[in-house]
Every structure is written in C-alpha cells, then in structure tokens.
Structure 1
Amino acid sequence: MSFEIKSAGFDDYLRKNGDGLTIDERKKVNKVGAKIYENAMQTFLDHHRSDRVYQNGTEHLADTLTHEITTGGKYEIGFSKKGKKAYIARLLNDGFDVRNQFGGPYKHVAPEDWNNFIANIGKENDARMGREMSRKAQEIINNKMHSNDTGS
C-alpha cells in the first residue's frame, strides 16, 4: 500500500502556488496522510484482535503492522516479513476458496468485516488524509515563501 499525493487537484494546487515540493518535503506531506491511515488500520486490527494465544512466540496480525518511507517519498504500510502474517491479511481482505482433501464444492469465504478492509480503511479516511496532507503542503509552501520574502 503506497500513499503519495497523486490527484490532479493537488497537482494544480502546487502549480498555482509555485515551487512544488522536494523529495524530503513530499516525504513529510505523505507521512502526515499515511499516519492517519496507519492509525486507522491499527485501530481496526486491534478491534478485531482475538483472544487466542499463539505458540512459539508467533505474533498476532495486529502486532506486525509496519511502515517504510521509500527514497521516492512514498510512505508504504504493510505487515512485517518477520511477523509472517501478510498472507493472512491478504486472505481476509480478498476472501478465499475453501479446499480440503475431498475437493468441494465449498463456498467462497469472505468475512464481512474484513472484506476489502485495506481499501475500505483508505476510503473512510480519504477526506481527512487529503485535508491534512494539503495543510502540511501549505505549511511547507508558506515557510518557503516566508523564507524567500525575508531573504534567508
């Protein structure tokens, strides 16, 4: 999952307001929006946490949520390799076809709360992420303009 400002509206906003953003500034803007998504994802995972105690130090899916900022300025949120739980998130998000040694047919399993939860969390928080990212970009642009006005 990657979060980067891509909408034409925001690009127009940057063109109208001058300088645009450097990679470091883009990282700051993307981080603001991605943090909102990451917090919403963590809340969702914690809300759906089971009481099950895993053997051999295995972590719960909610404990493996992680993030990384790429060199291009994208803020990526996912599940750690160490936790070995990303496949479970994918199964819950996409649903799965049950199979066993007898074949089937069995119905497609897609837990209602989990069905497409990765995209749904993004949609639910899209407006808030956009507002905060725009606010952060405006703050950065204002600081640039202020430093140019003062001759710094």
Structure 2
Amino acid sequence: MTKEVKNAESFEKILDTLASGFGREEKLKADNAGADVFVKIMKPKIPESTKLRKNEHVHLRDSLIKVEHPNGSVSVGFTAKGEKGYIGRFQNDGWTVKDRNGQSHSTIVGKHFWESTQTEAKGKVGTAVAKQLKKAMDKKVGGSK
C-alpha cells in the first residue's frame, strides 16, 4: 500500500480550483436550468383568457418571465411591462367580489397554480440545478464536459 500521492501538484491544483467555489456564470447557468423547469411546469397551469381586454397587449400566460440578478440568482414572475402581476395574484389567490358600496357579494376561489407548481417542481428543479452544477464541477476537475 502506497503512502504517497502521485501527481500531488495537479491534485492540489484541482483542490484549489474546487475550493474557489462556483462563479457567477456557473450559478447563473444552474439557476437558469432550475427556472426553465419551473416555467415549463407552470405555464400550462396559468389560466388563459380567450380574448384581450381593452388596452391589453399580452395574456397572463405570455407575461411569465425569468429575471437574472447580478449575484447569479434567477427569479420567475410576471412582467411589469404587461402589468399582469396583480392579475396573476388574483387568479392564484382568489378574491372577494365587492360592489361600489364596498359590500361583499361572493368569493371567487383561487386556482393556486403557483403553489401547485412549487409542489410539482420541487424535486425536478433541484435535479436540474444539481445536474448543471455537476457539469461545472466536472469542468473544474477536468472530467467530462
């Protein structure tokens, strides 16, 4: 049994590379992979109207976007430009119908597509992120690309 490490210098270099962690680009690729999975699962669950209202340009489903942040993280939400965030919130959470006098009449039950997507995507998003991080790690240690 050997008591020395062959190619110790290259081994140390690999350890130093791994110790430096993941950079912004690797984090961004991994988070994008997870966000892509989340969007793919959520998009069909979002209610879609068959017509546009006055002054509307996009449907709620079409305004779902990913936003990349400077720290390498990625958020999923509805675009502010399409002004659909509040509609998404109503559709997801539901609301109480009130008349112009403020009297409640009925309650519209929410569709809870966001929560449903979170539940369904939980393991799948993690797998996509881990797969992308493994690719980055393999590249750092000189493995398969």
Q: TM-score range by the shorter chain?
A: 0.7 to 0.9
TM-fit CA distance, 1:101: 2.4
Equivalent in the alignment of 1:135 = 131
Equivalent in the alignment of 2:142 = 146
Q: What is the alpha-carbon distance in structure 2 between the residues aligned to residue 62 and residue 27 of structure 1?
A: 24
Equivalent in the alignment of 2:6 = none
Retained in 1: the 8 A contact 2:97–2:105? yes
Unaligned 5+ runs, structure 2: 1-17
Provide the TM-score with structure 1 as the length reference.
0.73
Provide the TM-score with structure 2 as the length reference.
0.76
Equivalent in the alignment of 1:52 = 51
Equivalent in the alignment of 2:66 = 67
Equivalent in the alignment of 2:39 = 38
* Higher Rg: 2
Q: Which amino acid aligns with 1:81?
A: A
- Kindly, what percent of the aligned residue pairs are identical? 24
SS of 1:98 mapped into structure 2: strand
**Size of the alignment, in residue pairs?**
125
Equivalent in the alignment of 1:9 = none
TM-fit CA distance, 1:70: 0.1
Equivalent in the alignment of 1:119 = 115
Unaligned 5+ runs, structure 1: 1-17, 148-152
Deviations 1:58-114 (A, max 9, x none): 321112111111001111111112211110001112221221124434343223xx1
SS of 1:144 mapped into structure 2: helix
CA distance 1:44–1:71, change in 2 (3 Å): same
Q: What is the alpha-carbon distance in structure 2 between the residues aligned to residue 54 and residue 96 of structure 1?
A: 19
Root-mean-square deviation (CA), in Å?
1.9
Equivalent in the alignment of 2:99 = 100
Q: What is the alpha-carbon distance in structure 1 between the residues aligned to residue 96 and residue 134 of structure 2?
A: 47
CA distance 1:55–1:102, change in 2 (3 Å): closer
TM-fit CA distance, 1:55: 3.2
Q: What is the alpha-carbon distance in structure 2 between the residues aligned to residue 105 and residue 83 of structure 1?
A: 29
Q: Which amino acid aligns with 1:135?
A: K
CA distance 1:106–1:57, change in 2 (3 Å): closer
